[in-house]
Structure 1
Amino acid sequence: MTRVRYGARSAAEISAARAAGTKLPDIWSTGVVAVWESDPDAVAAVLPPPLVPAERPLVRAAVSRVQLPGYPLGAGSVAVSALHDGREGWYPLVMPMTHERALIGGREVFGEPKKLGDVTLERDGLVVRAALARHGIAFVEVRGAVAGPLPLPEPAEKLDFYFKFLPAVDGSGFDADPVLVHCVRHEKVRRLERLTGDVVLRESMYDPVADLPVRRVVELTIGEKTSDQKGTVAGRVSAREFLPYLHQRYDDPQQILDGPPAGSVR
C-alpha cells in the first residue's frame, strides 16, 4: 500500500527528527535593533502579572533577515522591558514572521506572540530602512544611515518572557492556568554598526505600538548575529489575572472572548 502521509510515524522516524533538531548549525541573521525610552505608565500597562516594570521604561524593536537553509525568513519583534523574580528581560507584544513554519513553532512550543506579517530590511550603501507591517500598515519603521562600526560585544545571555496558554473549549477562560515561560538566548555578534536616524510609529488597530511613544532613542544599530534558545516554565499564573491581557495575542478579541456574531451559522 502506498504510504498514507497523515498516518503515524515510526519510533525510528520520530527519533531521527529529534536528533536532527539538536544538530542545527549556527544560523546568522542581519538585523536592525532600535531601543527607546517610552512612557513609564504605558509600559507598565501592557505587563501581565507577575511581570513588573524594569527600572527603565524601554521598548525594543528588532527587524531581521534570517538566512535559514533553503529560504530566507523575515522576523521581527516589539518588546518592552520587564522584571520577573528579580531577573530582567523583555516581554514581546508582537512578533511578525514572514513564514508559517517559524510562526507555528514559536507559538505552540514557547507561547511566543508570533503573527504572519511583512518584514522589510533594506540597505543601499549607508542608507538603511527597516519596517514591520501587517494589514498594509508599517506600524514600526526605522530610517537611518550607517555612522560607523561599533566594538563587538562578548557573547551574551538574553531573556524573554512569554505566556503559553490554550483558550477553553467551551469559550470561557482557559483549559488550564497559563504558564510563564523564561526563554534564554545565547547570542553571538560578528558585525555591529551604529545608525543615526529615527523611529517612526504608525497607528494600527491591530498592532497598537504607537501607544508606546518614543521619548528618547537609546540604541540604533545594524549587525549580524546568531543565537540559540532554550525555554523553561517559570510557573503557573493566575488565569483570572491574565485574562484581561488575552486580547494582546489576537487581531480580533471576539475570537476568544465573545460568542459568534448574531445570525451566524453553527
Structure 2
Amino acid sequence: MSQLRYGPRPVADTTDGKVPNREVAATKIGAWSTSLTATFLTDPGVIAAVLPPPLEPPAEPMVKVSISRVDLGGGRAPFGAGTFAVAARHRDTEGYYPLLMPMTTEQAVIGGRETFGEPKKLADITLETVPEQSSGSAVRGLVTRMGVGIIELDGTLGDELDPPPSGERLDYYLKFLRDPGGAGFDDDPWLVYCTRETETRSHRAANVALTLRESRFDPVADIPILGPVTATLSERRSQQAGRLVERVPAADVLPYAHQRYDDVSPVDTRK
C-alpha cells in the first residue's frame, strides 16, 4: 500500500521544544516584494471608533494603504498582497491595526488568519508600472473584492529616494475563533504583536490619487481622506515574528468581529 497522505506524520524534534509550524517558517523566508504604499491623515474620531479594546487612538490619526507584488523566487508565480491599516497605540507601544489584508492566494489567507490572527481575505490584486515617453512611468495598484475595485492607487513615479534604514515595525492583531455553538467566541481572544524586520533596496517617490470605493463587504470608503496622500514605490523584504501578549475579554471584541467577515450569510434578512 502506498503512503496514506492523510495519515499522521512524524513531528520533527527541535532543540527549543517548539512544534515546527510551516506558516511561521514561511514568514522567515524574506521574499522580496514591490510595494506601493500610501499614507494619509483621517478623522481622529474615526480611528477611535474602529479600534477594539485594548487598543487606543494614537497621537496622529494616520492611515496606511499598501498594494504589493510578492516574488517567491524559485520559479514560483508571484502573489498579490495588500494592507489597509490605521495607526494605533497599546500601552507604551505605537503601531498599526489592519482593518483589511487582501491576498490573492488561499495559502496566504489561511496561514495568516489561523496562526497570527491577521484579517486576511481573498481578493484580486494588480500592481503595475508602465513607462511613458512624456511623463516618466505610470504606476497603478488595484484591490478588487466581490466585484468592486475597493482600493485604487493611480499616478506617476517621481524621483529616486534614499532607502530608509532597516528597522522594525509593529502591527496589532486580535486572534479569535467563532464558537460552533453560537455563543460568540470559543475562548477569550488574544492580542498579538507582530513585528517585522524590514530591509529596503530601492525607494521611489510616487504622485498618486487614492480612491476608496463603496462596498458593503469592505467599507474602506468610510475612512475619510483628510489631507495630502503621500506615496512611495519600494522593493523590500521582511521577516515577521508574532507573540501572544494578553487575553482580551470576549465581550470587548465581539462588537468588532464583523471587521473580519464578509456578510454573505443566506439567512441574512437585511435589505
Shift in Å, 1:11: 3.2
In the alignment, the residues of structure 2 paired with residue 85 and residue 25 of structure 1 have an alpha-carbon distance, to the nearest angstrom, of 31
State how far apart, in whole Å, the 2-side matches of 1:197 and 1:46 are. Answer: 26
* Partner amino acid, structure 2, of 1:176: D
Pair 1:106 & 2:112 matched: yes
- Assess, with a 3 A threshold, how the Cα gap between structure 1 residues 174 and 253 changes in structure 2: closer, same or farther: farther
- 1:67-103 CA distance string (max 9 Å, x none): 0131211000100000001100000001110001111
Q: 1:66 aligns to what?
A: 70
1:3 shift after superposition: 1.1
Determine the C-alpha separation between the residues in 1 that align with 2:43 and 2:21.
Answer: 46
Q: Does 1:239 align with 2:250?
A: yes
- Deviation, 1:169, is 2.1
Report the CA distance between 1:18 and its aligned residue.
3.6
Counterpart position of 1:93: 99
Contact 1:34/1:217 (8 A) holds in 2: no
Identify the residue that residue 152 of structure 2 maps to in structure 1: 141
Residue equivalent to 1:2 = 2
Aligned residue number for residue 45 of structure 1: 49
**Preserved contact between residue 247 and residue 253 of structure 1 (Cα < 8 Å):** no
Distance in 1 of aligned mates of 2:105 and 2:72:
11
Alpha-carbon distance in structure 1 between the residues aligned to 2:123 and 2:259: 16
User: CA-to-partner distance for each residue in 1:202-226, whole Å, 9 max, x for gaps?
Assistant: 1111110111111113520001000
Deviations along 1:120-155, one digit per CA (max 9) or x if unpaired, are: 101002100011110111111111111111111110
Secondary structure of 1:210's partner?
A: helix
Q: CA deviation at 1:23?
A: 10
Question: Could you tell me whether the CA contact under 8 Å between 2:210 and 2:229 is conserved in 1?
Answer: no
Select 2:193's aligned residue among 182, 190, 201. Answer: 182
Q: What letter corresponds to residue 93 of structure 1 in structure 2? A: L
Cα distance in 2 for partners of 1:28, 1:90 equals 22
Question: Is residue 2:92 matched to residue 1:56?
Answer: no
1:133-188 CA-partner distances (Å, limit 9, x unpaired): 10111111111111111111110110000000011121111111000000000000
Which whole-Å CA distance do the structure 2 matches of 1:84 and 1:36 have between them?
21
Deviations 1:5-44 (A, max 9, x none): 11001235999x9498389543100010010101111111
Matched, 1:163 2:170: no
2:56–2:89 CA contact under 8 A, matched in 1? yes
The alpha-carbon distance between structure 1 residues 248 and 210, as it changes in their structure 2 partners (threshold 3 A), is: same
Report the CA distance shift for 1:261/1:25 in structure 2 as closer, same or farther (over 3 A): closer
Secondary structure class of the residue paired with 1:217: coil
User: Does the 8 Å contact 2:127/2:141 carry over to 1?
Assistant: yes
CA contact (8 A) 1:99 1:116 kept: yes
Whole-angstrom CA distance in 2 between matches of 1:14 and 1:219: 45
Instruction: Give the unaligned 5+ runs of structure 2.
Output: 132-136
State whether structure 2 residue 223 is matched by structure 1 residue 212.
yes
Change (3 A) 1:238 1:25: closer
Taking a change above 3 Å as real, the CA distance of residues 247 and 26 of structure 1, as seen in their structure-2 partners, is closer
**Matched letter for residue 175 of structure 2:** K
State the TM-score, normalized to the length of structure 1. 0.91
Q: What amino acid maps onto 2:30 in structure 1?
A: D
Check whether the contact 2:64–2:84 (CA below 8 A) recurs between aligned residues. Answer: yes
Aligned residues: 257
2:134 alignment counterpart: none
Matched letter for residue 252 of structure 1:
D
SS state of the match for residue 129, structure 1?
strand
Percent sequence identity is 45
Q: What amino acid maps onto 1:36 in structure 2?
A: F
2:182 and 2:98 mapped to 1: Cα distance? 25
